[in-house]
A and B are shown apart, each in its own frame.
Chain A
Amino acid sequence: MMKDVTLGQYFSGNSVLHRADPRAKLMFAFFYIIVLFFAKSAASFGFALLFTIMMIAISGVPFKSVIRAVKPLVFIILFTALLNIFWTKGEKVLFEWKFIHIYLEGVIFALFMAVRIVLLVVGMTIALTYTTTPIALTDGIEALLNPLKKIKVPVHDFAMMMTIAMRFIPTLIEETDKIMDAQKARGADFENGGLIKKAKSLIPILIPLFVSSFKRADDLAVAMECRSYRGGEGRTKLKQLRYGKCDIVLFILAVVFVAGILLCNYFLPYISI
Chain B
Amino acid sequence: MTILELSDVFFTYDKGTPDAHEALVGINLKIEQGLMTGIIGHTGCGKSTMLRMFNGLLKPDSGKILLDGKDIWENPKEISKVRFRVGLVMQYPEYQLFDETVRADIAYGPRNMGLDEAEIVRRVEAAASFAGVSADMLDRSPFELSGGQKRRVAIAGIMAMQPEVLVLDEPAAGLDPKGREDIFLGLDRYRRESGASVIIVSHSMEDMARYCDRLVVMNDAKIYMEGTQREVFGDAEKLMKIGLGVPEVTKLISLLREGGMPIAQEIYTVDDAKTALLELLGGDSK
| A residues less than 8 Å from B87 (CB atoms) | 185
Contact of A203 among B80, B88, B97, B98 (CB under 8 A): B98
Contact of A185 with B57 at beta-carbon distance under 8 Å, contacts A204-B98, A208-B96, A208-B98 already known: yes
| B residues less than 8 Å from A189 (CB atoms) | 80, 112
B109 at the interface (CB under 8 A from A): yes
Question: In the complex, what's the smallest C-beta–C-beta distance from A39 to chain B, in angstroms?
Answer: 37
A179 at the interface (CB under 8 A from B): yes
| Docked pose: A85 CA to B161 CA in angstroms | 55
Contact of A185 with B55 at beta-carbon distance under 8 Å, contacts A179-B95, A207-B98, A208-B98 already known: yes
Could you tell me which residues of chain A, from 174 to 206, have a CB within 8 Å of some CB in chain B? 175, 178-179, 181-189, 203-204
Judge whether B109 and A184 touch: CB under 8 Å: no
| Docked pose: A182 CA to B88 CA in angstroms | 8
A212 at the interface (CB under 8 A from B): yes
| B residues less than 8 Å from A203 (CB atoms) | 98
Contact of B113 among A178, A182, A187, A204 (CB under 8 A): A187
**Closest Cβ neighbor of B106 among chain A residues:** A186
Contact of A179 among B88, B96, B157 (CB under 8 A): B96
Judge whether B52 and A181 touch: CB under 8 Å: yes
Judge whether B83 and A185 touch: CB under 8 Å: yes
A211 at the interface (CB under 8 A from B): yes
B221 at the interface (CB under 8 A from A): no
| A residues less than 8 Å from B108 (CB atoms) | 183, 186, 188, 204
Secondary structure class of chain B's binding surface, majority of residues: helix
Contact of B112 among A187, A207, A208 (CB under 8 A): A187
Contact of A188 among B88, B93, B112, B161 (CB under 8 A): B112
Question: In the complex, what's the smallest C-beta–C-beta distance from B146 to chain A, in angstroms?
Answer: 14
B84 at the interface (CB under 8 A from A): yes
Query: How does the 8 Å CB contact mask read for B28-72 relative to A, with 1 for contact and 0 for none?
Result: 000000000000000000000000100101000000000000000
Could you tell me which residues of chain A, from 145 to 160, have a CB within 8 Å of some CB in chain B? none
| Docked pose: A184 CA to B108 CA in angstroms | 11
Contact of A186 with B52 at beta-carbon distance under 8 Å, contacts A178-B90, A204-B98 already known: no
| B residues less than 8 Å from A212 (CB atoms) | 95
B143 at the interface (CB under 8 A from A): yes
| Docked pose: A41 CA to B99 CA in angstroms | 58
**Closest Cβ neighbor of A207 among chain B residues:** B98
Question: In the complex, what's the smallest C-beta–C-beta distance from A164 to chain B, in angstroms?
Answer: 20
| Docked pose: A179 CA to B108 CA in angstroms | 14
**Closest Cβ neighbor of B87 among chain A residues:** A185
Judge whether B112 and A186 touch: CB under 8 Å: yes
**Closest Cβ neighbor of B92 among chain A residues:** A178
Could you tell me which residues of chain B, from 90 to 132, have a CB within 8 Å of some CB in chain A? 90, 93, 95-99, 108-109, 112-113
Judge whether B158 and A186 touch: CB under 8 Å: yes
Contact of A186 with B98 at beta-carbon distance under 8 Å, contacts A178-B90, A181-B57, A211-B143 already known: no
| B residues less than 8 Å from A184 (CB atoms) | 57, 80, 83
Judge whether B90 and A182 touch: CB under 8 Å: yes
| A residues less than 8 Å from B109 (CB atoms) | 186-187
Q: Choose among B90, B95, B157 the residue with the greatest number of A CB atoms under 10 Å from its CB.
A: B95
| B residues less than 8 Å from A204 (CB atoms) | 96, 98-99, 108
**Closest Cβ neighbor of B109 among chain A residues:** A186
| B residues less than 8 Å from A183 (CB atoms) | 96, 108
| A residues less than 8 Å from B57 (CB atoms) | 181, 184-185
Query: How does the 8 Å CB contact mask read for A26-62 relative to B, with 1 for contact and 0 for none?
Result: 0000000000000000000000000000000000000
Judge whether A182 and B96 touch: CB under 8 Å: yes
Judge whether A187 and B83 touch: CB under 8 Å: yes
| A residues less than 8 Å from B95 (CB atoms) | 175, 178-179, 182, 208, 211-212
Contact sample, A vs B, 28 pairs, CB 8 Å cutoff: A175-B95, A178-B90, A181-B52, A181-B57, A181-B90, A182-B93, A182-B95, A182-B96, A183-B108, A184-B57, A184-B80, A184-B83, A185-B55, A185-B87, A185-B88, A185-B90, A185-B158, A186-B83, A186-B96, A186-B108, A186-B109, A186-B112, A186-B161, A187-B80, A187-B83, A204-B99, A204-B108, A208-B96
Chain B residues within 8 Å of A, Cβ to Cβ: 52, 55, 57, 80, 83-84, 87-90, 93, 95-99, 108-109, 112-113, 143, 157-158, 161
Chain A residues within 8 Å of B, Cβ to Cβ: 175, 178-179, 181-189, 203-204, 207-208, 211-212
Q: 9 tightest A-B contacts by CB?
A: A187-B112, A207-B98, A182-B96, A186-B109, A185-B88, A182-B90, A204-B98, A208-B98, A181-B57
